[in-house]
Structure 1
Amino acid sequence: MEIVRIDTLDDPRLADYAKLTDVALRRVTEPEGGLYIAESNTVIERAVAAGHVPRSILVQEKWVSSVLPLVAEHPGPVFVGPDALMEELTGFHMHRGALAAMHRPELPSVASVVEGARLVVVLEDIVDHTNVGAVFRSVAGLGADAVLVSPRCADPLYRRSVRVSMGTVLQVPWTRIGPWDTAAAELRALGFHLAAMALTDESVALDEFAAAVPERVALVMGTEGQGLSREAVVAADTVVRIPMHHGVDSLNVAAASAVGLWAVGHAQRA
């Protein structure tokens, strides 16, 4: 392991950590560069435990002794430097101790991700990384099996998604699906009943759906503003709504996923 103490930002290997607060930039540069950023000792530990390989580590001096054991088997450089220089590099104060530029694992096939699964979540075009991370945490905490994300859905491995998920993005199996004209047929061929969470005249209440729950269910959740696309609703086997009160029409997608997962998962296990 190479420990590099820095007093300038001239080392080109530090480029992985530049401008981490520029979301638009990172959406492009991280996937294209084959990396993602893991933030905090806990997330780095979970990433390594999941078999992900760090390209390098950026750590505050006071956290070196706690970070080194987590990456002891990996040869990448560990950059150590003053807080002010790290803030200049990343664009924020590193109060969580450490960052790791991790090699992004190759995405598995849909079939391999859902093998043996009874309950999965499909995220269509969710744009808020916080919501993506929160859904993953609900999936992990409520005992669902996997997450599938649409081509335009926010990156589950973006730093905020990973952090909000408490690192469960690194534990829950997930991959990307194709557009609905192929994805729906693929999921149905794998034995899944597609349940679209949406408000339509034909929708059934969640408790009604759970009362006769199918053996394998894919809960399809839509984007924050407009909800599910027409293509997703048309592709579904059942459209499901969460009954609401006091004039509220719907929940935030992260909250709705938790409610849906609890109801369907509980019914499947009953």
Structure 2
Amino acid sequence: MLIADPQDPRLDDVRDLNKSDKSGEGLVIAEGHLVVSRLVASRFPVHCIVGFASALEHYVDTYGEPGCPMYEVDRETLAQVVGFDMHRGLVAAADRVAPLSVAEAIQGAKTIAILEGVGDHENIGSLFRNAAGMDVDAVLLGAGAADPLYRRSVRVSMGHVLRLPCARFDGGFTTWQRNLELLASEGFHLVSLTPDENAVHLAEAMAGHSKVALMVGAEGPGLTEHAMRATHVRARIPMAPGTDSLNVATAAAIAFYERQRSLL
């Protein structure tokens, strides 16, 4: 259905994306063919898909009919609506749904990532993309972790935040760690990543454990002492002389790979 008027209310779900991520309106936004397809395949009910004629045609040819309204707009109209020139030519909006509980998110899981204080949305997106690519079964969020459904996180994750089970622990920076007892009771070996040279080698920390939870913290401060005390072991990634840390998404990716390797 062609829409030529930028003020058409049917486009309100994707309006002013440069000013708001739409989380305050209870929405999830996806951009580009691949991410939109993952939104359509997710548990989030899609309101609409908006895009150029060629982008909509390509989407249907590649992924099939999405089962929601599809609105055609030209490039100038879409730019006026979203607030910037959207080169991908396709954007979709969906309702947020009730979050999973921790118990629901870890059901059947063998490898889990836990994030404390990771507040950068691009790092969150990168972490989810790395986790999905390396067989991590779920991501759990501790205090201070940013919203993974923020538009930038969805985009950077290539839509994997929409596919990977995720749940948030209750509590603040000094209390959320009490919830880790649930993971321990479910048989998870809890590993906290730290650059501390006294920590054990990452490979050694995971060896022989069938269920592992890998915990990373914010860049700079890292994990809180409260969090590390709640784990079974502190592990480090060996670093070259003169260096002391990695980007949190990079460090997590190395840990996820080492976990994969330990299962071979």
Same topology, TM > 0.5: yes
- Which of residues 180, 184, 189 is equivalent to 1:184? 180
- CA deviations 1:125-179 (Å, max 9, x no partner) are 2122221121112112111211112253122222222222222222222122223
Please tell me the residue identity of whatever aligns with 2:107: E
Partner secondary structure for residue 42 of structure 1: helix
Partner of 2:194: 198
Partner of 1:59: 51
1:35 Cα deviation from its structure 2 partner: 1.2
Deviates more, 1:126-135 or 1:173-182: 173-182
Gaps of 5+ in 2: none
Q: Find the aligned partners of 1:73 and 1:208 in 2 and give their Cα distance.
A: 46
Percent of matched pairs sharing the same residue: 37
Contact 2:6 2:78 in 1 (8 A): no
Contact 2:6 2:81 in 1 (8 A): no
- Which of residues 53, 62, 67 is equivalent to 1:74? 67
Superposition TM-score, scaled by structure 2 size? 0.88
Question: Alignment RMSD, CA only?
Answer: 2.1
Contact 1:221 1:228 in 2 (8 A): yes
Structure 2 residue 227 is matched with structure 1 residue 239: no
Partner secondary structure for residue 120 of structure 1: strand
Q: 1:243 to 1:227 in 2, by over 3 A?
A: same
Contact 2:4 2:73 in 1 (8 A): yes
1:23-172 matches, cutoff 5 A = 25-26=20-21, 29-30=22-23, 32-68=24-60, 72=65, 74-76=67-69, 78-172=70-164
- CA deviations 1:173-227 (Å, max 9, x no partner) are 21222232432222222222211111336421213223x3422111001112311
Q: Find the aligned partners of 1:114 and 1:182 in 2 and give their Cα distance.
A: 17
Please tell me the residue identity of whatever aligns with 2:9: P
Deviates more, 1:160-169 or 1:126-135: 160-169
Gaps of 5+ in 1: none
Q: Find the aligned partners of 2:210 and 2:79 in 1 and give their Cα distance.
A: 50
Contact 1:206 1:260 in 2 (8 A): yes
Contact 1:196 1:236 in 2 (8 A): yes
Partner of 1:229: 224
Q: 1:201 to 1:8 in 2, by over 3 A?
A: closer
Aligned residues: 259
Please tell me the residue identity of whatever aligns with 2:4: I
Partner secondary structure for residue 178 of structure 2: helix
Q: Find the aligned partners of 1:94 and 1:243 in 2 and give their Cα distance.
A: 42
- CA deviations 1:87-123 (Å, max 9, x no partner) are 1221221111210011223211111211221110011
Partner secondary structure for residue 199 of structure 1: coil
